[in-house]
Chains A and B, each alone.
Chain A
Amino acid sequence: MAFREYKIGSRMFAFALGSSMMITLYFPSKDIASVQATKTALNRQLSFGRIGGFSVEDPFLKGKGKPVTVFLNKDPKTGQPIEPVTAYVYPAGVPFPSGLRHPRILGEGVKDLSLGQGRIADAKEGSGAVFVVSEAGFNGKTLSYIENATATRGWQPGEAVAAAGDANSRYIGSGKIMFVREGCWWCHTLLPEETQDWQYFGAPPMLGDFNGESPTAFGSDRKAPDLLHVASRNSSREWMTMHFYNPRLVQTHSIMPRYDYLWGEKDAAGNKIDYDKWRAEYNEYVAGKRVYAPEVPQPAAESEARMLIDFVLALK
């Protein structure tokens, strides 16, 4: 390094790369960090839980350590009827999403309401908690914030799950894990484009719709319809069940892979699923030797297929 030129050169290099980092990392992150979380962002992160991909609590992406979303129409504590509400149940030990761990990222107002009225600082992962999204005024504007219903209303995780029952419980967070693990995002996007997707795929998301969610799994490569609002187009659980088992049952020209393996060993009634038989019958049906396609088994309550369908039907 005897040359003076190289000293100047390496300083210039540091300056150039440093400025580039300043413009492409520091300024944008300041800008993005000042964004206020929308109601969508609160609902999304509360239903997904901490991380949607690899995490310490769920190293093999089986959907472990995720919250349960429940629809309640009676108070889990008193049993009195209430206005229907969506609650996010975090049983003891399930990690909280980023908005609860670092309320700062919720942005002005949302943070203040969540900490003040919502008492989210009182929630502890070790004992679990139930959250709901509520609204209140802040500086003359109505904002959504996270309410720790365990502190404000005395709702306990176990009671909330029991009050809802399986029919009103959704494994949306575990379903997102399936979505990431199975690579749905290599074909589907979760991001209607700002320019031309309004009519077909629905409104593009807003700046504050993702605070607290990771990964966002927007997808870059679209070989199939955008899914951000798919459940608003089609909310039939029946259709989804058939479509995931074998997309070509409902859409002959689809290139989507079959996801029958997410059904696992047994169906909803506890009977063993005979895949070989099903496929043989399906092949006969395709060859025109059968009039009807074979019946698609109902996914068991704790199967991965159920989690995935819960997730997809929550994309409104």
Chain B
Amino acid sequence: MLKYLFAKEEDIPPGTAAIFFGFSSIVWFVLGTGLGSFNAAKLAFPDFVTGIELISFGHMRQVHVLAVILGWISMAFAMTMMYITPALGNTKLWSEKLGVWNCFLWNIGLAFGLFLLWNGVSSGREYSDMPWFIDLVVIFGVLFPLGINVWMTIKNRRTQGIYTTNWFFGAATFMVIVVFLVGNMPEFFNLTGLTEAYLTWWFAHNVLGLWITPVAAAISYYVVPKVTGNPLYSHRIGHLHFWSVVVFYSTPAAHHLMSAPLPEWLKSFASVEGVLILVPAIAFVSNLLLTMHGKWRMFVENVEIKYTITGVLLAIPLNMQGGFQQTRAINWYVHGTGWIVAHAHLALLGFSTFLEAAAVYYGLQVLLRRKVYSLSLSNFHFWMLLIGFSTYWISMTIAGLIQGAGKIYEVPYIDVVIAEHPYMIARWVGGTMVFIGNIVWMYNMWMTARAGTPIPAGRLPHELAYER
């Protein structure tokens, strides 16, 4: 990598930045889920490792969360943007060198930020925990260069129209910069009180709604038609999805604070808009499932489709939960319980991760021009992720319902802690399966780069048979 930082633009082979981003994201995925599993162990067995500041739960939880969001998910996004955007514009990436620098700064900046966070240097605001100078690095050293590369590549395209995926990429990179700038204002300008509390959740909501969800969806708009060979079922529904994300997903931030003393109109408004998120959700799921028409065999036989469609199917319970759990009628019961933790993992570990994993699998094969090393290992990875995630989701949902019941019956809190204990252990087991699956994945992709069967010129990875 280092040798490309100072190479001339022409000397850097196309796809270099995407490959770096791909492998970085996998490494962060392994680290992030490892931390998650360690945290889960601490909640299940509080005396497991104890009395050391750096490994206490409060120092590590946020490191897990930001490592998976900014390391795994966002780097996987950057990887896909660096190979899909040019592919769809029938052109090259605007600047491969900028991409390499972007990847380099991203890894350094994130590692430094997480190191500080781990040591307790935190702003005390959930999801925007990083102190403000790291936020500035993220905005101007990470997101802005990424945005420029995406926008300029789209501008320099050699096709007439812009495909759905690229609208999403272009808009989401812009929106995430706005979200970071506005959402961190409490730190830049020391805003206080409810303004601070509200902006914290405005940030958290919009990072999910205007960055993670639309970009993950955009990826699958590319992967499914590309691999199955079917055209996208409907571009109109794609339009509906895009515009309803911009309009409905950007507004319900206050539904995260339904039981806080915010103005009532704001909470009611947020809650109605939150139900309307079902519009983009249904548009997205139906569009992709209909695109699969006649190719459902590939759901079983092809690795990328298996991942993508599982992710798309997981979007159904995700949005059903999301739309309804934030209404006043339901929110008071599940708010602040393990139910929400289960929901967060359904969104990020279920829905989103499966879509990105597919794109990273596919992208690395295309860019390295090698077939994935082993189908068995990929399948192993898939089932470890799916079973591990399901165990996590089910156990935390049950734990959340117990906590909810504890809230209304006003039992002494310690009884709730005791009742949750078995589910905490189950969650740890499930999460550890995900972690182990990821280590196998890292090995598999490494071996793909070293020993995967070369793909002949003019062929695509999914056209070759699996060998192992």
Contacts and interface: CB of A to CB of B under 8 A. Distances in A.
Nearest to A251: B414
B234 interface: no
Interface in B162-202: 162, 171, 175, 178, 182, 186-187, 190-198, 200, 202
Contact of A183 (B62, B186, B418): B62
B262 interface: yes
Contacts of A61: 120-122
Interface centre among A194, A223, A248, A251, by most B CB within 10 Å? A223
A59 interface: yes
Interface string B67-80: 00000000000000
Given A1-B155, A61-B121, A197-B407, A17 B246 contact: yes
A193 B332 contact: yes
A98 B57 contact: no
B241 interface: no
Contact of B122 (A29, A54, A191): A54
B53 interface: yes
B140 to A, nearest CB: 19
A24 B123 contact: no
Chain A contact residues, majority secondary structure: loop
B260 A196 contact: no
A270 to B, nearest CB: 22
B418 to A, nearest CB: 5
Given A16-B247, A54-B122, A261-B53, A183 B58 contact: yes
A54 B46 CA distance: 28
A261 B246 CA distance: 48
A32 interface: yes
Interface stretch (B285-293, B335-343, B355-363, B441-449): B335-343
B90 interface: no
B132 interface: yes
Contacts of A260: 51
Contacts of B62: 183, 186
A254 to B, nearest CB: 7
A98 B192 contact: yes
B160 A20 contact: no
Contact of A224 (B197, B335, B408, B413): B413
Nearest to A259: B56
A31 B261 CA distance: 12
Contacts of A279: 51
A17 B193 contact: no
Contact of B57 (A187, A211, A251): A187
A64 to B, nearest CB: 13
A191 B57 contact: no
Contacts of B7: none
Interface string B400-432: 000100011010011001101100100000000
A204 B57 contact: no
Given A54-B132, A211-B193, A214-B186, A16 B59 contact: no
A53 interface: yes
A189 B200 CA distance: 15
A255 B161 contact: no
A195 B259 contact: yes
B190 A53 contact: no
A24 B46 contact: no
A51 interface: yes
B124 interface: yes
A77 interface: no
A183 B46 contact: no
Contact of A193 (B121, B335, B414): B335
Given A60-B120, A251-B414, A193 B194 contact: no
B155 to A, nearest CB: 7
Nearest to B205: A24
Pick the most buried of A3, A41, A53, A205: most chain B CB atoms within 10 A of its CB: A53
Contacts of A182: 56, 58-59, 120
Contacts of B279: none
B154 to A, nearest CB: 9
A183 B197 contact: no
Nearest to B56: A257
A184 B417 contact: no
B337 A29 contact: no
B42 interface: yes
Interface in A172-196: 180-187, 189, 191, 193-196
B162 A189 contact: no
B383 interface: no
Given A186-B61, A212-B192, 9 more contacts: A16-B246, A31-B266, A182-B56, A200-B413, A211-B193, A215-B186, A217-B125, A254-B46, A260-B51
Interface of B: 42-43, 46-47, 50-53, 56-59, 61-62, 119-126, 131-132, 155, 160-162, 171, 175, 178, 182, 186-187, 190-198, 200, 202, 243, 246-247, 250-251, 253-254, 256-257, 259-263, 266, 269, 332, 335-338, 340-341, 403, 407-408, 410, 413-414, 417-418, 420-421, 424
Q: 9 shortest A-B CB distances, which residue pairs?
A: A183-B58, A53-B124, A193-B259, A180-B124, A54-B131, A215-B124, A181-B120, A195-B332, A222-B336
20 contacts: A6-B162, A24-B250, A24-B254, A28-B198, A28-B263, A32-B262, A45-B192, A54-B131, A61-B120, A180-B122, A184-B58, A193-B407, A199-B410, A204-B261, A214-B192, A222-B336, A247-B46, A251-B414, A255-B424, A261-B52
